[in-house]
């Protein structure tokens, strides 16, 4: 496999786009002693989309087609090419650099898989791998994904509403929050075994939503993208997608969902509470302490010279569906 370390002038569009902000976010980790100075510049060039990374002789992870009903509402959105969606990732369990998850997750075993839904409910359940794609009808949802680092994509996810799953376990009246947990398996996830590679995060990666956010029809449990099962770097076999929140809320490779009475603490909130809040709603009026959130770079098919800088929308453009959830709340306090 060819790993190219380009000079700054040869960086591909991902690197250029994110460099300042990405470096800012990483400087926090660096200050904490977790990232080597040379880490940012290395960039492997992935080849074909879908199952075949790094040339045909190195095909490792296979995706498979899924059956789903089409998203009729959002067909007009210009999608980010699949190749970019599956090669420019944040998945710190497989390394803190954008190209590392696509490289280091290729041997990730998703079978067998168990997802346990428990806590404040009458009928806790454990789903296995086949349940994830068979228990509920699958739908396509073409959503914008806005990363806190000020880049964004448009991704055709396949999945089912989290609400369908939560209704199945019959939540009780104490269920006010929902906590999520990623697999903890340092043998498979090298970033969990090596603190430097994993960005200094204390694993497992955990996230949370308020119960009403979790029940909102937009909140998706995704099992696929671009018509096929998720590749590991995007969170196989099942991940959350919450399109009006910064991308870090959309936790990957989930093994546990727990209904709780109290608000859970989340991974980035624990790491830097002044910078990353529990709510993390996309908000162009509330800057990150170290960079502006007023605009973003949309990753499209363009190369280095198509910068695609666009204004960031409140709630990532989903205000009509979700603004009511936050009525009366000071969103600069509850960021």
User: What residues line the site for ligand MTE (CB under 6 A)?
Assistant: 89-93, 145, 147, 182, 205, 234-235, 247-248, 250-253
Nearest-angstrom CA–CA distance, 85 and 295: 20
CB of 162 to ligand MTE, least distance (A): 15
CA torsion, ordered 166, 137, 114, 243, to nearest 10 deg: -60
Q: How far is CA 203 from the centre of its chain?
A: 16
Q: Name the CA radius of gyration of the chain, rounded.
A: 19
For residue 4, the cross-strand partners are 43
CB of 7 to ligand MTE, least distance (A): 26
Residues 6+ apart with CB under 8 A from 137: 68, 69, 160
Judged by beta carbon, residue 120 or residue 143, the one nearer ligand MTE is 143
Judged by beta carbon, residue 171 or residue 247, the one nearer ligand MTE is 247
Note whether 63 and 227 are within 8 A (CB): no
> Could you write out the three-class secondary structure of 11-22?
CCHHHHHHHHHH
91 to 5, 9, 191, 303: CA distances (angstroms): 21, 26, 9, 23
Judged by beta carbon, residue 183 or residue 322, the one nearer ligand MTE is 183
Judged by beta carbon, residue 168 or residue 291, the one nearer ligand MTE is 291
CB of 332 to ligand MTE, least distance (A): 21
CB of 154 to ligand MTE, least distance (A): 11
Closest CA to 116 of 177, 161, 181: 181
Judged by beta carbon, residue 10 or residue 295, the one nearer ligand MTE is 295
CB of 4 to ligand MTE, least distance (A): 21
Residue nearest ligand MTE by beta-carbon distance: 247
CB of 328 to ligand MTE, least distance (A): 29
Judged by beta carbon, residue 34 or residue 120, the one nearer ligand MTE is 34
Q: How far is CA 23 from the centre of its chain?
A: 19
């Amino acid at each position: 496999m060819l790993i190219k370390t380009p000079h700054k002038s040869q960086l591909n569009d991902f690197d250029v786009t994110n460099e300042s902000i990405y470096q800012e976010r990483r400087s926090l980790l660096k200050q904490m002693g977790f990232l080597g100075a040379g880490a940012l510049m290395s960039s492997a060039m992935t080849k074909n989309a879908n199952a075949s990374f790094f040339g045909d002789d190195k095909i490792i992870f296979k995706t498979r087609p899924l059956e789903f009903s089409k998203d009729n509402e959002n067909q007009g959105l210009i999608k980010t090419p699949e190749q970019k969606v599956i090669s420019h990732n944040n998945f710190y369990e497989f390394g803190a650099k954008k190209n590392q998850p696509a490289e280091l997750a290729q041997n990730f075993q998703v079978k067998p898989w168990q997802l346990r839904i428990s806590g404040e409910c009458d009928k806790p359940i454990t789903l296995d791998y086949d349940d994830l794609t068979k228990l509920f009808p699958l739908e396509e949802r073409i959503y914008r994904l806005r990363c806190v680092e000020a880049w964004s994509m448009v991704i055709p996810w396949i999945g089912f509403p989290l609400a369908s799953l939560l209704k199945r376990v019959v939540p009780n009246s104490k269920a006010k929050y929902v906590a999520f947990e990623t697999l903890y398996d340092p043998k498979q996830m090298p970033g969990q075994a090596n603190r430097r590679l994993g960005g200094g995060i204390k694993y497992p990666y955990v996230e949370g939503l308020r119960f009403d956010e979790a029940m909102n029809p937009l909140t998706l449990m995704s099992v696929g993208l671009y018509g096929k099962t998720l590749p590991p770097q995007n969170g196989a076999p099942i991940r959350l997608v919450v399109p009006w929140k910064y991308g870090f809320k959309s936790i990957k490779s989930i093994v546990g969902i727990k209904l709780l009475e109290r608000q859970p603490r989340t991974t980035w909130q624990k790491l830097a509470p002044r910078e990353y809040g529990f709510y993390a709603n996309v908000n162009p009026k509330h800057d990150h302490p170290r960079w502006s959130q007023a605009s973003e770079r949309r990753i499209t098919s363009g190369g280095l010279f198509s910068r695609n800088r666009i204004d960031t929308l409140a709630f990532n453009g989903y205000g009509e569906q979700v603004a009511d959830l936050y009525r009366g709340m000071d969103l600069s306090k509850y960021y």
